[in-house]
């Protein structure tokens, strides 16, 4: 029997109303009973405002507002409307363009969430699994953001089982932002998983380490940029992180050197990398860090599948580089209001990831590059992921990003932006024996921080502006 997230919240609130579902450090906590009651009131308030089933409702929140956001999201869902989660860190024109694109009927922000007074009746019926539940906009690091629509069946796939996820933990700590696929995954965990989900309004390495230590979190999730910052700040020397048994990284590939560093900083943890996309979720590959396969992103999990194929979808044999496709085990997502783009990316249950990669004989996936990031330099194609892995091997490099820049004879050539104390001369010497001649950078630039979007991914378009 299919479940929906509102239905699951109703079940948990009835079974254990006093159990804490979510805590935002410094802002308070919320039990399942409170979550159910408050979201019922929001649903009634939205209906009173004229919001009808199928209407799109923008939710513009910052990470300090996770509790109110969670209430608003479920209130929108219970009203039969479609939630459009957006980070309050988006530039105003970008947020306005997204809200206009989906035709949002109304927009909710902190302190503006409608709520009927106590005693408001719970919605008589909850949305059907096939109804549209959410539109989540992609990061747009390589082009115009697209709205990815998901049904209730898609969001709740795999939920409601007897054994709840992460049963080894009393607390699950994360620092994912609202308005991202990873953030929505944590919202689902808050209603479905065993542990109480804890987060914080603003990520810093010390604050996140203190959060883990304070709650003795058994599970923690971050993105590679956060991991790099935590290792550079050496927070593990000042905070006890031994409670973490599972440390998950998502949203971007985890460099091998960083994964090895995390193994030392979190001495009892299993380091796990999750690879998916806003379009493909809940399909994913999962990789438990293995020094024998340090650059793999793992094998298909959660009932999905992965294959390497041509642009037309024809499968390729193991060891051959091609386009990465994933098959979702749930109702497939789509691009909202864009049938042409949907047809390019979503085909017969398979999702075109926009990445190039290959599978080894055991089914482990290796990413070669984002298709849009591959540097076509003269007669060669250069993988930015490969070059970044080698740059990270230099002990003086804290962070690195590789991207293409115009070249008068080659068309494009390799540029590297680094954070850290390494000199350009030392780095060139280090790379010379480790990269092929066409992979060596023609431009090196040192920056204080790498530019990132609100989801934590490096903005390579912004880096190209730096080296113009």
- 137 in the same domain as 42: yes
- CB of 342 closer than 8 Å to CB of 335: yes
Give the C-alpha separation, 246 to 193, whole Å. 14
Residue-wise pLDDT for 351-379, tens only, equals 999 999 999 999 999 999 888 888 988 77
Segment 47-71 shows an average pLDDT of: 96
Distance, in Å, from the CA atom of 382 to the CA atom of 349, rounded to the nearest integer, reads 31
Q: What pLDDT does 41 receive?
A: 95
Contact 139, 455 (CB under 8 A): yes
Query: Is residue 438 located within the same domain as residue 348?
Result: no
185-196 mean pLDDT: 98
Residues 351 and 378 reside in one and the same domain: no
Residue 216 has a pLDDT of: 98
Query: CA–CA separation, 132 vs 219, rounded Å?
Result: 31
Where residue 26 falls (left for φ over 0; alpha for ψ -120 to 50; beta otherwise) is: left
Q: Cα-flanking dihedrals φ and ψ of residue 60, to 5°?
A: -105, 105
Q: What is the mean pLDDT of residues 401-407?
A: 91
Q: Is the pLDDT of residue 1 over 70?
A: no
Q: If you count DSSP H runs as helices and E runs as strands, how many of each does the chain have, helices first?
A: 13, 25
CA distance 32 to 215: 19
* Same domain, yes or no: 167 and 258: yes
327 shares its domain with 453: no
Predicted confidence at residue 184, as pLDDT, reads 97
Q: Do 277 and 382 have their domain in common?
A: no
pLDDT class for 134, splitting at 50, 70, 90? Answer: very high
Q: What is the CATH number of the domain that holds 327?
A: 3.40.50.12780
**Rounded CA gap, 137 and 462, in Å?**
19
Examine the domain organization and report whether 240 and 304 are in the same domain: yes
Closest listed residue to residue 246, CA positions, set 277, 281, 222, 226: 222
Distance CA 90, CA 280 (A): 23
Q: Is there a single domain that holds both residue 279 and residue 230?
A: yes
pLDDT at residue 38 tops 90: yes
pLDDT at residue 177 is higher than 60: yes
For residue 177, what is the DSSP state? P
Q: What is the mean pLDDT of residues 189-216?
A: 97
As given in the structure block, the two tokens for residue 162 are 């007897």
Residues 69 and 132 in one domain: yes
pLDDT at 120: 67
Residue 197 contacts residue 190 (beta carbons within 8 Å): yes
Nearest partner of 188 among 379, 404, 5, judged by Cα: 5
| Residues near 422 by beta carbon (within 8 Å), at least 6 away in sequence | 394, 396, 397
In this predicted structure, the answer to whether residue 345 has a pLDDT above a threshold of 80 is: yes
Bridge partners (DSSP) of residue 30 are 22
HEC sequence for 31-81: EHHHHHHHHHHHHHHHHHCCCCCCCEEEEEECHHHHHHHHHHHHHHHHCCC
List the domain range (segments joined by +) for residue 189.
Answer: 5-359
* 264 assigned to some structural domain: yes
Statement to judge: residues 278 and 303 lie in one domain: yes
pLDDT band, very low/low/confident/very high, at 454 (cuts 50, 70, 90): confident
Six-digit token string for 228: 């790099």
Distance of CA 425 to the CA centre of its chain: 36
Question: In this model, does residue 141 exceed pLDDT 70?
Answer: no
- pLDDT surpasses 60 at 140: no
**pLDDT on residue 452:** 86
Taking the C-alpha atoms of residue 374 and residue 261, their distance in angstroms, rounded to an integer, is: 28
Round to whole Å and give the CA distance between 222 and 204: 12
- Indicate which CATH number applies to the domain containing 422: 3.30.300.30
Mean pLDDT over the full length of the chain: 93
Q: What is the C-alpha to C-alpha distance for residues 409 and 61, in angstroms, rounded to an integer?
A: 47
pLDDT for 208 beyond 90: yes
Contact 22, 29 (CB under 8 A): yes
Q: φ and ψ at 391, to 5 degrees?
A: -60, -40
Is residue 257 assigned to a domain? yes
Number of domains within the chain = 2
Q: Is residue 416 part of a domain?
A: yes
pLDDT confidence bin for 143, thresholds 50/70/90: low
pLDDT level of residue 82 (50, 70, 90 thresholds): very high
- Greater confidence (143 vs 380) lies with 380
Q: How many CB atoms lie within 10 A of CB 12?
A: 21
Same domain, 343 and 419: no
Q: Is residue 109 part of a domain?
A: yes
Whole-number Å distance between alpha carbons of 41 and 115: 5
pLDDT at residue 79 is higher than 90: yes
Backbone angles phi, psi at 367, to 5 degrees: -85, 135
Q: Does the structure show a pLDDT above 70 at 181?
A: yes
pLDDT tens for 226-280 read 999 999 999 999 999 999 999 999 987 888 899 999 999 999 999 999 999 999 9
């Amino acid at each position: 029997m299919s479940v929906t997230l509102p239905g699951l919240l109703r079940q948990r609130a009835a079974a254990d109303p006093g159990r804490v579902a979510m805590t935002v450090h410094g802002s308070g906590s919320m039990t399942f009973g409170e979550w159910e009651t408050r979201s019922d009131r929001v649903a009634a308030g939205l209906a009173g405002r004229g919001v009808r089933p199928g209407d799109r409702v923008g939710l513009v929140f910052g990470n300090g507002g996770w509790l109110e956001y969670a209430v608003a999201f479920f209130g929108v869902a219970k009203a039969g409307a479609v939630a459009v989660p957006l980070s309050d860190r988006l530039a105003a024109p970008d947020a306005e363009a997204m809200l206009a694109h989906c035709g949002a009927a109304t927009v909710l922000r902190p302190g503006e969430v409608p709520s009927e007074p106590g005693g408001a009746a719970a919605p008589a019926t909850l949305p059907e699994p096939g109804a549209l539940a959410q539109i989540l906009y992609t990061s747009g690091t390589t082009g115009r953001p697209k709205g990815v629509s998901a049904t209730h069946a898609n969001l709740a796939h795999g939920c409601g089982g007897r054994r709840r996820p992460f049963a080894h933990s009393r607390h699950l700590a994360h620092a994912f932002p609202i308005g991202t696929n990873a953030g929505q995954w944590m919202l689902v965990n808050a209603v479905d998983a065993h542990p109480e989900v804890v987060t914080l309004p603003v990520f810093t390495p010390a604050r996140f380490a203190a959060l883990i230590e304070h709650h003795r979190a058994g599970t923690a999730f971050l993105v590679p940029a956060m991991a790099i910052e935590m290792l550079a700040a050496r927070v593990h020397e000042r905070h006890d992180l031994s409670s973490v048994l599972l440390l998950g990284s998502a949203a971007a590939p985890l460099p091998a050197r960083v994964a090895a560093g995390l193994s030392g900083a979190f001495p009892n943890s299993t380091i796990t990398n999750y690879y998916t996309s806003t379009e493909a979720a809940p399909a994913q590959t999962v990789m438990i860090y293995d020094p024998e396969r340090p650059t793999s992103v793992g094998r298909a999990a959660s009932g999905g599948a992965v294959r390497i194929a041509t642009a037309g979808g024809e499968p390729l044999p193991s060891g051959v580089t091609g386009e990465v496709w994933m098959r979702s085990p749930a109702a497939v997502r789509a691009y909202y209001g864009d049938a042409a783009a949907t047809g390019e990316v979503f085909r017969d249950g398979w999702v075109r990831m926009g990445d190039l990669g290959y599978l080894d004989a055991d089914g482990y996936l290796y990413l070669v590059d984002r298709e849009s990031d591959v540097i076509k330099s003269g007669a060669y194609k250069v993988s930015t992921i490969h070059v970044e892995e080698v740059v990270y091997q230099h002990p003086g490099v804290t962070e690195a990003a590789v991207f293409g820049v115009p070249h008068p004879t080659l068309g494009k050539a390799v540029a590297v932006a680094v954070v850290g104390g390494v000199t350009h001369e030392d780095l060139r010497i280090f790379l010379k024996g480790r990269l092929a001649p066409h992979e060596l950078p023609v431009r090196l630039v040192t920056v204080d921080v790498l530019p990132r979007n609100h989801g934590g991914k490096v903005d390579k378009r912004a880096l190209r502006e730096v080296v113009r």
